[in-house]
Chains A and B, each alone.
Chain A
Amino acid sequence: MNAMTDKIRQIARRLLEEGKVDMVVGFRKGTVPMMSEPCFIKDSARVDALVWDGNCGINLANYLTRRKERMAVVAKGCDTRNIVTHIIENQIRREQVYIIGVPCQGMIDKRKVKNLADGEVLSVEEKDGKVVVTAGGGEKSFDRTALLQDNCAICHHKNPALSDELAGELVRENPDVDRYEDVRKVEAMGAAEKWKFFDELLSTCIRCYACRNACPLCYCPTCFVDESKPQWVGKGQDPTDTRTFHFLRAFHCAGRCTDCGSCERACPMGIPVRQFTKKLEKDAKELFGWEAGMTLDARPPLDTFRPDDPGAFIK
């Protein structure tokens, strides 16, 4: 068991025993390799179910809205930024959540592991910056950094943006890493080429909405694709409808997306759906100097007007 898991259990036990919170939201060990399952613990006798490893990529901020309990939540850098976003968007109250902040070394991309492993992946162990993958064809060891999710490899905010208590030492941030190489590549294409790029990107989409539902930002009581009076978008496999869904889903995340990568992680077809949201995230940074969820003390750029807002697009 790793030190982080140990510390998370200690904190969770104490909070539940002291009655500071009604429940702790965290991860428990999954039933298949490279999966940890979001769970809640209400009884301090059960805190030993909690774990922390490189498979906790689902954003737990998604599990906090529309609840009445006082909750503690185990939150890595991006999760805390989405908790901040929830608070400033009035989805949860600050005093309702106790944030157990986890300085994060990045999450393991299960698809990368599957591609590199020799046969079916049977178990994955992390140790001292290495990942040992046991597969049907034998055991292989990799540098952990080579197996990170794409969003984690370019992360600027591994440490919690807001927390009540830390479950480990802060880690070194990597502010020099280039976050937008892939976006610039698309920006450099012509219109027809861009259209084709996204057509191919979405060609295997099955409209299961895993990307939307894994996203903590998507908390609308009824999503526009689920509206039936009026119906905004067709529900079949027509590529125009599929594109409309992805385009508008991304647009609703403008200035709010923390690039936590939950959408991409959740996609059963392995579609790089972040290619939509990353463009907006880049624009928010470049046009407004804004990174979502870093502070409780500023309003997001798209819900405030400032006379110096960039207006080049308007005639």
Chain B
Amino acid sequence: MKGLLEHMGIEPGRLHFSWISSAESTKFVDVVSQVTESVKALGPAQNFIKREPKVA
């Protein structure tokens, strides 16, 4: 899914997958920090956003 989303133009770094056990609190903090850092660096998403439907 990540591959296809990025193939159609979603920026790499916007979508993240991780597997974290409930016991891995340190990993959880690390991953969340990385995700927020990487998404903040990209700025707000411009694509795949719909506020008001576009009509012909």
Chain A interfacial positions (CB closer than 8 Å to B)? 183, 186-187, 191-198, 234, 236-241, 243-244, 247, 250-251, 254, 276, 279-280, 283, 313-315
A-B contact pairs, 15 of them (CB 8 A): A194-B9, A195-B8, A236-B54, A239-B54, A240-B49, A243-B48, A244-B48, A247-B4, A251-B1, A279-B4, A279-B7, A280-B3, A280-B4, A314-B19, A315-B18
Name the 3 nearest CB pairs between A and B, nearest first: A195-B9, A194-B9, A240-B50
Closest A residue to B2 by beta carbon equals A313
For residue B29, CB closer than 8 A to chain A, the reply is: no
For B10, list chain A residues within 8 Å (CB): 191, 195
Closest A residue to B9 by beta carbon equals A195
Most central of B8, B9, B17, B54 by chain A CB within 10 Å: B8
Closest B residue to A192 by beta carbon equals B9
User: How many pairs of A and B residues are in contact by the CB < 8 Å rule?
Assistant: 72
B9 touches A234 (CB 8 A): no
- With the chains together, A238 CA to B55 CA distance in Å? 7
For B16, list chain A residues within 8 Å (CB): 315
For A186, list chain B residues within 8 Å (CB): 7
A196 touches B9 (CB 8 A): yes
Which one of A195, A237, A240, A283 lies within 8 Å of B55 (CB-CB)?
Answer: A237
For residue B47, CB closer than 8 A to chain A, the reply is: yes
- With the chains together, A315 CA to B24 CA distance in Å? 13
B7 touches A195 (CB 8 A): no
A247 touches B8 (CB 8 A): yes
Given contacts A234-B53, A314-B17, contact A283 B3 (CB under 8 A): yes
